[in-house]
Structure 1
Amino acid sequence: MSLKGKVGTEIEIKSPPEKYYNIFKSQAYHVPNAAPNHIQGVDVHEGDWETHGSIKIWKYTAEGESGVFKEKVELDDANRSVTLVGIEGDVMKDYKTFKPIYQVVPKGIGSLAKLSIEYEKLREDVPAPNKYVTLMVNITKDLDAHIMKA
């Protein structure tokens, strides 16, 4: 059994791809306001809100459990993709590598959000991080509603 894997899903959203991508690229501080049931806070640890390589600390709730996730952001403007490379936090107790990826592509009058997590488990008995994909879906739905209200 392989310890490495990738899980993910795609969901259609009404937001224009640029607006959705820009929240993650340069306005992540809006996420707790848009998705308060899922994200309770985000702070810049090193760098700033919009620079590739900046480090942020997220406070989240997944399936009723609170957690902290420290990540280094990788931005890909050409593909409207944001990768949050896990450095520390609760998920790192079970995973050697943990990389949530938010990508958005134009689809009709809205967008298609491609949400995935690349991971490597520390042990065979660790489940795939499906609950975190669900968290990403919930955040995306809340962000979409927030963007469309603005």
Structure 2
Amino acid sequence: MAIDTFDVSTPIKSSVDKFYDFFKFKMSELVNIFPASFKGVELLEGEEGTVGCVKLWHYILGGIPMTVKAKNEAIDDEKHSLTFAALEGDVLQLYKSFNATLVISEGLAKWTFTFEKATLLSPIPELYGPLVIAASTLVDAYLLINN
């Protein structure tokens, strides 16, 4: 099967640096900012904000409780880019590989999902679009309120 991508973008009003720093160093705070979808997170390996950091996330997707063990695979401070790779979890029942890359630019947060379907019947991971847009919007509002 081929590697595919799926992109979503959302406008942001907070500064590029603050938004990037949140997702690089404080992403675990999503449990407090967006408790309807993010139920828990555990740091398993490494240090927050570094390549190789591994976390176990508990989240709700399409009304279904899910887990994913995800690794910070790449961090590019110059491009304000972060890439997370799924190592284990529910998402890998549908995909052989699944990565999420966040690139922040002035006024915009763009998420790109790179995936390889496990079977021909595996859907495009469109449910992740509304999840990351809502998370990005709530983080943006949080950053604007809590300067």
Give the TM-score normalised by structure 2.
Answer: 0.94
Alignment: residue pair count: 145
Q: How far off is 1:89 after superposition? A: 0.6
Residue 129 of structure 1 corresponds to 125
Letter in 1 for 2:105: V
The 3-state SS of whatever aligns with 1:49 is coil
Residue 100 of structure 2 corresponds to 100
Letter in 2 for 1:20: F
Q: Give the whole-Å Cα distance in 1 for the aligned partners of 2:127 and 2:28.
A: 23
Q: How far off is 1:101 after superposition? A: 1.2
Letter in 2 for 1:47: G
The 3-state SS of whatever aligns with 2:119 is coil
The 3-state SS of whatever aligns with 1:15 is coil
- In structure 2, the gaps of 5 or more residues are none
Residue 9 of structure 2 corresponds to 10
Q: Give the whole-Å Cα distance in 2 for the aligned partners of 1:41 and 1:24.
A: 16
Q: How far off is 1:136 after superposition? A: 1.0
Q: Does 1:67 align with 2:63?
A: no
| Structure 1 segments of 4+ aligned residues over 6 angstroms from their partners | none
Residue 111 of structure 2 corresponds to 115
Letter in 1 for 2:11: E
Contact 1:38–1:138 (CA under 8 A) maintained in structure 2? no
Residue pairs, 1:131-146, within 5 angstroms: 131-146=127-142
Letter in 2 for 1:98: F
- In structure 1, the gaps of 5 or more residues are none
RMSD between aligned residues: 1.1
Q: Give the whole-Å Cα distance in 1 for the aligned partners of 2:20 and 2:30.
A: 12
Residue 37 of structure 1 corresponds to 36
